[in-house]
Copies of this chain bind each other. A is one copy, B any other.
C-alpha cells in the first residue's frame, strides 16, 4: 500500500473521465479526489506524531479547543458545533479523554441539560506538548510552500463558506 505508483492515479482517472465524454467534469473530479487523498496522507502523518501521546487527531482537536477557551471548559454542544462533528463523536471523544484523565464532565451551573467538558491539568499539559510536537514535526514543513498555503487557505475558505460552514466573515 505504500509503494509509490509509477504514475499519478488521479491524473489517470481524469484522463479516463475525459475519454468517456465527461470533459467538463473531469478536472473538478480530479480536484475532489486529490483533496480526499491529501487529507488521508496528512491524517496519517499527524496521527503518527500524536501516537506517542496516546492521542488521535479528533481527541487532540477537542483538547486544543478546550485549551484555547478562557476557563478551559465548554459545553459538549458548543464543542460539537465548533469542531463541526456530530454530537455523538464528541461523546465518544470525551469518554476516552475522560478515561485518560485529560478532561472531566461537570454539570452546567444553570442549564441542567448541558454537560461541560473541563480540561484537567494533565490534559492541559498534554495538549501543550502535543501541539509542540505537531508544530515541530508537521506544520513547520507540510510540503506546501508559502504560496500554496495562501492559495489553499483562500480557496478552501471560500468553499467552506459557500457550503454553509460559516456566515460571511
Contacts and interface: CB of A to CB of B under 8 A. Distances in A.
A15 to B, nearest CB: 10
A85 B37 CA distance: 10
A135 B16 CA distance: 13
Taken together, the copies of this chain in the complex come to 2
Interface of A: 1-11, 13, 16, 22, 24-25, 27-32, 34-43, 46, 68, 80-87, 131, 134-135, 138-140, 142-144, 146, 148-153, 155-167, 169
A124 B151 CA distance: 38
The A interface, classified by DSSP as helix, strand, loop or mixed, is: helix
Contacts of A82: 5, 9
B32 A138 contact: yes
Given A150-B27, A166-B7, A86 B1 contact: yes
A82 B11 CA distance: 12
16 contacts: A8-B169, A9-B82, A9-B83, A10-B160, A28-B142, A30-B149, A31-B149, A31-B152, A34-B152, A35-B38, A35-B39, A35-B152, A36-B42, A38-B160, A41-B160, A144-B159
A46 B80 CA distance: 22
Nearest to A34: B156
B140 A24 contact: yes
